[in-house]
Structure 1
């Protein structure tokens, strides 16, 4: 038996964000956000795409987005590689989810709270060894809550979770273990199968349940993730040797060639002229490209004008 790796974007969305994932997501969020208490009774899984409903806002796409029964939005991202300014991206997506709720003329009282849950496969906070970190607005000296604490940031750092299978105690332990290890398992551990929602998550994660198209998508993302992991270190070294921008260009070219094949000279020229911030945006966008036309359209919208 083989299971898809929840750390891969496609797999994470398949397990937690598909039409049959409601009960799974409720159990997972109760475990991570509320220490296993049944606070969330129901939710609606929403389109994770955050379009530019406000002029000038950048497009972004989350892994999973849900509206809870108490009116809160929860947005979830799974991040494998440590990339520049990721902390800012988390804050941006949380603030954007909060801001785009209203259209012109609507009252601020209609704004619903937002919880941004981020799972990382690397350590974000070196000052502590807590697996879960929960941030809210506090007064700087007295540490009292802000009167409208509507944005919360929650982080799960997988490398800090050290428990083995026989040490799992809580529902929180079991869900974090599921995220961290499922891609390496060849059977469902009995202690995990006792939780119906986790058992169902394993059923969705079983590779035999995927269509040929889904398997192909999964394999593409796995190869891409491997390329990213091996190329980041190389890109950093090239950045030191050749200048940061040139090193980033070489990295992006390599990843695009893996996804789309040989790039045409015009596209290569346009990419080589992109500034660092645009290159970082392209690195985020290219995973959604299905053909060379998608790259052409992106470059047309983002290239520097002569």
Structure 2
């Protein structure tokens, strides 16, 4: 038995955001938001997964949106790679979801709470050792919670979770293990199968239940994510190698910049096709720190226009 990784957008959306995922998503959110308590009884998944629409999904992240029975809104995002200003994007999505509930002239009491659940495949909050961290508004000195409890941020950092299969106890443990390790499993472990919703999620993740076309799409997306990560690491190593070959401090800096610029151009050309010489020259002339910023920002660009805007505002 082989399983696809829930960290890839295609699988994540199908497991947690399809029409048959309601109970799966309820169990997952009760674990992550309410520490395993059975608080959420029902929800409605907005814009559920549709195989015919997978081309519109973004390669590095996606959102699932659900409305709970008390009309609270939950948005879920999986982010597999670091990117520039990611924290600001999380804040923006939370605030945008809250504000967009009202049309012009509507009254504020119609606003419902919004919870943003962000899952990262990298460490984001280095000063906090826990895998799950939750944030609300509080008074800065006295740590008293703000009277309005309408906005909440929850972060799940997968690399911080180090428990083995035999160590899993809580519903929280089992869901995080599912997200992080499913692709490495070859059977449904007994401890995970004890939770009906996780067993159902694993069955959805079973490669045997996908058509050849779906598997090809999944493998293509998984490979894209691996390639992006590999190219970032290659850029770093290439820059170091070029720098070492120069010998002197100035030579090392120039060598790293040239190596990074070449790899960044490979990334740009692969993402947007062959770009013209003017754009190539602009990128080649960027400083080393700007090249690193561009590599991170590329994950969030949807078109060549986004790249041009980034270069103009540099």
Normalised TM-score (structure 2): 0.79
- Which 4+ stretches in 1 moved above 4 angstroms? 236-253, 256-260, 268-282, 295-304
Instruction: Please give the root-mean-square deviation of Cα atoms over the aligned residues, in Å.
Output: 3.1
Matching of residues 1-80 of structure 1 within 5 Å: 1-47=1-47, 62-80=62-80
Matching of residues 131-150 of structure 1 within 5 Å: 131-150=131-150
C-alpha distance 177-273 of structure 1, shift in aligned 2 (>3 A): same
Residue of structure 1 equivalent to 2:300: 284
SS of 1:12's equivalent in the other structure is helix
Q: Which runs of 5+ in 2 are unaligned?
A: 50-60, 241-251
Residue of structure 1 equivalent to 2:190: 190
Question: Is 1:234 aligned to 2:234, yes or no?
Answer: yes
| Maintained 8 Å contact 1:36/1:171 | yes
Supply the distance in 2 between the matched residues of 1:233 and 1:296 (Cα, whole angstroms).
23
Supply the distance in 2 between the matched residues of 1:39 and 1:270 (Cα, whole angstroms).
53
Shift of 1:195: 0.9
Q: Which runs of 5+ in 1 are unaligned?
A: 50-60, 287-294
C-alpha distance 156-283 of structure 1, shift in aligned 2 (>3 A): closer
Which has more helix, going by share of residues? 2
Shift of 1:169: 0.9
Matching of residues 1-306 of structure 1 within 5 Å: 1-47=1-47, 62-236=62-236, 238=239, 241=253, 250-251=262-263, 253-255=265-267, 257-258=269-270, 263-266=273-276, 269-270=278-279, 273=282, 282-286=298-302, 295=303
| Maintained 8 Å contact 2:83/2:300 | no
Supply the distance in 1 between the matched residues of 2:48 and 2:230 (Cα, whole angstroms).
28
C-alpha distance 31-265 of structure 1, shift in aligned 2 (>3 A): closer
C-alpha distance 272-148 of structure 1, shift in aligned 2 (>3 A): farther
| Maintained 8 Å contact 2:269/2:275 | no
| Maintained 8 Å contact 1:249/1:271 | no
Larger Rg: 2
Supply the distance in 2 between the matched residues of 1:43 and 1:114 (Cα, whole angstroms).
14
| Maintained 8 Å contact 1:227/1:255 | no
Shift of 1:2: 0.7
SS of 2:197's equivalent in the other structure is helix
Normalised TM-score (structure 1): 0.81
Supply the distance in 1 between the matched residues of 2:103 and 2:255 (Cα, whole angstroms).
44
| Maintained 8 Å contact 1:246/1:272 | no
Shift of 1:234: 3.4
Aligned positions, number? 283
